[in-house]
């Protein structure tokens, strides 16, 4: 019933052009902080963990921003995304990083799966208090890489994009030669690229299969890195929406300047 309610919510949004929905998935990192959604320098709404917010964006080139308060200060870190609005509904998910968040555009189907696990925040005035915003905040068309943590976050986002493309070869290329994959419902580990390719072999046949990344934490130790977090799988089976919330751990190794997955463990959220 929850899945169907999420799809119904999505369908009601999809017919309203010019609407923007920002989704903050289930708490994992920084759950105690209130984020502030800002459009063209105007605070729009607060956003707590496991909430989504919907608002109208006038047609044209706009700057969407999330401001993150710094502890014991009226100073905010900020992530900005510039894009054209007004052609139809737009959906974004925010994910914590070490200084603020990333803002990632979503396909409508993927957004519907995430929204079903959040509460739509009622329209109300923001509690935002004016303060200094970090001058180094860039305006991005996608997440900006400014260090190893961002590189790892981008690598995990690339995995999500590859999964949603349902291209087995593209997915397999993200793994190291001797990588180990323990899938969400796998009975045994897939060891090595050949076994991982076999694991994803039916990806092209699962046309409705999608994944939406949630909140996560990245740690970097030289040429090794770990990204631990949450994601939600979404699929239509027999005409019904099926969502599988899960948790993941990606272990990366830097080889020839590129971060490759050496181990992935995925399990359902109990």
In this structure, the answer to whether residues 75 and 94 fall within a common structural domain is yes
In this structure, the answer to whether residues 134 and 157 fall within a common structural domain is no
Closest residue by Cα to residue 92 from 136, 54, 49: 54
Closest residue by Cα to residue 244 from 258, 233, 236, 230: 233
d(CA 200, CA 222): 30
Report the 10 Å Cβ neighbour count for 157: 16
Structure tokens at 129: 């208090």
In the chain, the number of structural domains is: 2
Q: What is the pLDDT of residues 165-174, one digit of tens each?
A: 889 999 999 9
Q: Pick the last residue of a domain from 91, 115, 140.
A: 140
Per-residue pLDDT at 193: 93
Residue-number span of the structural domain to which 241 is assigned = 148-268
pLDDT in tens, the chain (270 residues): 444 444 444 444 444 448 999 999 765 455 678 999 999 999 999 999 889 999 999 888 899 999 988 766 678 989 999 988 876 899 998 877 667 888 888 888 778 877 877 899 987 778 888 877 865 444 444 433 347 888 898 899 889 888 988 899 999 999 999 999 999 988 899 999 999 999 999 888 887 888 888 878 899 999 999 999 888 888 887 777 788 889 999 999 999 889 999 999 999 988
Per-residue pLDDT at 261: 97
Structure tokens at 108: 């409508």
In this structure, the answer to whether residues 162 and 218 fall within a common structural domain is yes
Closest residue by Cα to residue 228 from 253, 254, 246, 247: 247
In this structure, the answer to whether residues 135 and 168 fall within a common structural domain is no
Per-residue pLDDT at 108: 83
Q: Which residues pair with 43 in a beta bridge?
A: 38
In this structure, the answer to whether residues 103 and 215 fall within a common structural domain is no
Collect contacts of 229-232 with beta carbons under 8 A, ≥24 apart.
229/28, 229/29, 229/95, 229/156, 230/25, 230/26, 230/28, 230/269, 231/160, 232/25, 232/113, 232/114, 232/117
């Amino acid at each position: 019933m929850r899945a169907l309610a999420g799809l119904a919510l999505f369908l009601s949004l999809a017919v309203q052009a010019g609407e923007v929905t920002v989704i903050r998935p289930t708490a994992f990192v920084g759950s105690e902080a209130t984020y502030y959604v800002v459009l063209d320098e105007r605070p729009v709404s607060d956003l707590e963990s496991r909430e989504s917010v919907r608002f109208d964006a006038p047609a044209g080139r706009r700057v969407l921003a999330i401001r993150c308060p710094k502890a014991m200060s009226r100073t905010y870190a900020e992530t900005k995304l510039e894009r054209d609005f007004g052609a139809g509904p737009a959906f974004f998910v925010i994910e914590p990083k070490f200084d603020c968040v990333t803002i990632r555009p979503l396909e409508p189907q993927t957004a519907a799966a995430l929204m079903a696990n959040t509460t739509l925040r009622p329209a109300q005035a923001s509690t935002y208090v004016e303060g200094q915003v970090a001058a180094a905040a860039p305006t991005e068309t996608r997440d900006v890489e400014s260090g190893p943590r961002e590189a790892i976050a981008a690598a995990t986002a690339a995995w999500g994009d590859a999964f949603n493309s349902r291209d087995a070869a593209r997915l397999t290329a993200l793994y190291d030669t001797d990588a180990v994959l323990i899938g969400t419902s796998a009975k045994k580990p897939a060891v090595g690229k050949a076994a991982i390719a076999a694991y994803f072999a039916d990806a092209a046949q699962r046309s409705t299969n999608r994944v939406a990344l949630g909140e996560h934490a990245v740690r970097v130790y030289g040429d090794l890195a770990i990204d631990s977090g949450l994601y939600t799988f979404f699929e239509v089976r027999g005409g019904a929406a099926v969502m599988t919330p899960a948790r993941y751990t990606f272990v990366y190794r830097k080889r020839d300047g590129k971060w490759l997955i050496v181990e992935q463990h995925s399990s359902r959220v109990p």
